[in-house]
Amino acid sequence: MEKQDRYLRRARFGDTILIHYIAKLSNGRIVASTGDKSPAKITIGNDEIPRRLETRIIGMAEGEDEKVFLPAAKAYGYYRHDLVFKVNKQRFANLNQPEVGAEYEIKQANGKSLRARVTRVEDSEVTLDANHELAGEDILYEVSLVKICR
């Protein structure tokens, strides 16, 4: 068996793969899962999943399972209070009225875009949070490599 194992195709940087996964917070709450759906299709190296998770998938063969614990810093980063800001509600005049949970793409002064979620709507101000919704959370991933696409 050991001799055959050497010849198994293993996931590499740049490969497109199909995976089933469950992502759980430290309290056990499931925050993402492929469940009974089709496997997720990702390309290793395209920043579609946290980089540390990608590095653990590299070297896996089809049919292998892996548990990967990512502390907040290696998952979606620490929660940053400087990414929470208020804007004048009039900036939404040409859009639908902002609602809590709505997401907007904000153009920064440097020309880059930032996704931000509305967390509070007041009479004259709207509070936006540009942190990833899982920022500050430790996450346990249970990953099954279904297929390495050729």
User: Does residue 145 contact residue 57 with C-beta atoms inside 8 Å?
Assistant: yes
| Parallel/antiparallel/unpaired status of strands 125-129 and 40-43 | unpaired
Interatomic CA distance for residues 86 and 89, integer angstroms? 9
In DSSP terms, 146 is beta-bridged to: none
pLDDT at 106 over 90: no
User: Does residue 66 contact residue 52 with C-beta atoms inside 8 Å?
Assistant: no
Choose between 97 and 4: higher pLDDT: 97
Burial of 97 by CB count in 10 Å (0-12 exposed, 13-18 middle, 19+ buried)?
exposed
Give the model confidence (pLDDT) of 1-52 as tens digits. 454 566 788 999 999 999 999 999 999 999 999 988 999 999 999 989 888 8
Domains of the chain: 2-77+134-148 (3.10.50.40), 81-129 (2.40.10.330)
The owner of tokens 């290696």 is 74
Give the model confidence (pLDDT) of 79-94 as tens digits. 999 999 998 988 887 7
**74 Cβ contact list (under 8 Å, min separation 6):** 50, 51, 52
Interatomic CA distance for residues 122 and 88, integer angstroms? 10
Q: Could you tell me where the DSSP H helices lie in the chain? A: 2-5, 51-57
